[in-house]
Amino acid sequence: MDNAQEKQQQQPNATRRSSVSSEDSVSVDGAVTGEFTDRSGDDAAAVVQLGFAEQVEEDERDEAFGHEAFPSKIGGRPTWLNPTKPLPAERVLCGVCKDPMTFLLQLYAPEDQPAEAFHRTIYMYCCPKGACHQASWRDCFRVLRSQLPRDNPDDEEEEEEDDAPIWQLSCTPGVVCAVCGLHGSKQCSRCRGVFYCSRTHQILDWTVGGHREACGKASILPEMAASMAARRDRCLFAEREIVSEPEGEGEQAVRTDALEIPHRMAETYAKQDKEALEEEYEDTEVHVDDAFLAFQQRIARYPDQVIRYARVDYTKQPSRPLWVSDLGLPSMAEDITPCSYCGAERTFEFQVLPQMLNFLRIDHAATDALDWGTLVVYTCTRNCHVPDESYMDELVWRQEFSRDGLQDRIAPSPAAAS
């Protein structure tokens, strides 16, 4: 993580937004913005929008991550599109360890059709424990689509001609878990002053978060409050804003050094270039993973990208994800199932790149560290609206780097070949 931060600082990019202001968040063709879809109605949406992780200064956090900002972000606590309906923990329990998953990211990706999707945010959760992913990765991710029409009850005062209306809460926001921001259905029975999504987070806050010392106290010192906030934050993925910009040819961003891929084998592999690989394996039977080579070349234009967003209008040919390997592809018929609410097909919307792992505060040295090649998210082509349902389940496919291929190339041995 430190390495990645250092690289970002060394590589100032004048075209990228470094701080948040409300004027910047309006989508303009080709401009840097926090919004992923394009309302201009032309074919610009066919261009892949890249997402980059940006640090937000403490004094800018409220503005950057408030409801009225419709943020796209990684880590920290989610900003609910409809704050009166925070997501209940039951919707995001890990299928392996049964604990609530950790908030990974949200992307604000509004759509014109139907009207109910005027505001639209995709939320992504994952279990932070690598061991759970190794046991059954499908039980370790959850993707949820939340949407609201423009004229929603929480959205009273709209400014005309403004795509980003000023958010006015006409209802009381729902109570949220002090640790993670999910719906707080449980309350500390002693002080009745804090809420939790689950017993797991109540215990975590008592032991790790410092509520044991604060419980029942009429007032706590600012230093103690700050220390508690920091301890709670450490139970979450590190927080970053996601800003987007269209993928170009990357003239300004081309770098010759290796990608920031935390997977150790992939790191070694990424240092070798295509020519060297092909030369080295010209006379052997070793399978050269063309998908990985293509991935590497494409990503090298903008090595810091963490998201590739490419949802297109459902009337057009869907765009394709950038796979990290020839292996482990989903079967479109069996794995990418239709929308479970309306039966419509699901379409590729965006993918999370392995570079994001650099920003999550993960100990990559641990043998069971959280890891992925890419996470590909598919969503309902119709953006269907389900009455009385604020969060519609969508689908994620995880692809890993081809470990066998990497091993063959890095340390060819009879054992690895068999």
**Strand positions, DSSP E, 247-282:** none
Of 100 and 165, which has the nearer Cβ to Zn ion?
A: 100
Nearer to Zn ion (CB atom), residue 20 or residue 179: 179
Interface pick for Zn ion out of 45, 105, 179, 266 (rule CB under 5 A): 179
Binding marks (x or -) toward Zn ion, 27..56, rule CB under 5 A?
------------------------------
CA angle 162, 61, 49 (to 5 degrees): 60
Q: Which of 96, 176, 242, 261 binds Zn ion (CB under 5 A)?
A: 96
Q: Is 342 in the site for Zn ion (CB under 5 A)?
A: yes
Q: What is the DSSP string of 290-359?
A: HHHHHHHHHHTTSTT--EEE----TTSPPP----S-SSSPPPTTTTSPPPTTT-PPEEEEEEE-GGGGGG
Q: Provide the β-strand partners of residue 352.
A: 307, 375
d(CA 295, CA 395): 22
Should residue 177 be labelled a site residue for Zn ion when binding is judged by CB under 5 A? yes
Distance CA 71, CA 107 (A): 7
Residue of the chain from 64, 87, 92, 132 that contacts Zn ion (CB under 5 A) = 132
Our finding on whether 271 is near Zn ion (CB under 5 A) is no
CB of 80 to Zn ion, least distance (A): 14
Question: Under rule CB under 5 A, which residues in 347-386 are in contact with Zn ion?
Answer: 380, 384
**Contact positions with Zn ion (CB under 5 A) in 309-338:** none
Task: Specify the stretch interacting with Zn ion by CB under 5 A; choose among 54-62, 109-117, 177-185, 366-374.
Answer: 177-185
Which of 326, 263, 324 lies closest to 297, judged by CA?
324
SS3 helix, strand, coil % of the chain, rounded to 5? 25, 20, 55
Residue from the set 167, 281, 314, 341 that interacts with Zn ion by CB under 5 A: 341
* DSSP class of 166: P
Angle at CA 390, nearest 5°, toward 387 and 393?
A: 100
Give me 410's structure tokens.
Answer: 């890095």
Interface with Zn ion: number of residues (CB under 5 A): 22
With CA atoms as reference, report the closest residue to 340 among 386, 377, 387: 386
**How many distinct helices (H) and strands (E) make up the chain?**
11, 12
Of the two residues 187 and 268, which places its CB atom closer to Zn ion in the complex? 187
Q: Cα-atom radius of gyration of the chain, to the nearest Å?
A: 22
Which of these segments, 193-201, 243-251, 278-286, 298-306, binds Zn ion (CB under 5 A)?
193-201
Among the listed residues 127, 176, 327, 370, the single contact to Zn ion using CB under 5 A: 127
Provide the minimum distance between the beta carbon of 113 and Zn ion in the complex, in angstroms, as a whole number.
12
Exactly one of 197, 310, 327, 360 binds Zn ion (CB under 5 A); that residue is 197
Nearer to Zn ion, 187 or 272 (CB): 187
Residue among 73 and 142 whose Cβ is closer to Zn ion: 142
Provide the binding-site residues for Zn ion, judged by CB under 5 A. Answer: 94, 96-97, 127, 129, 132, 177, 179-180, 182, 188, 190-191, 197, 201, 215, 339, 341-342, 344, 380, 384
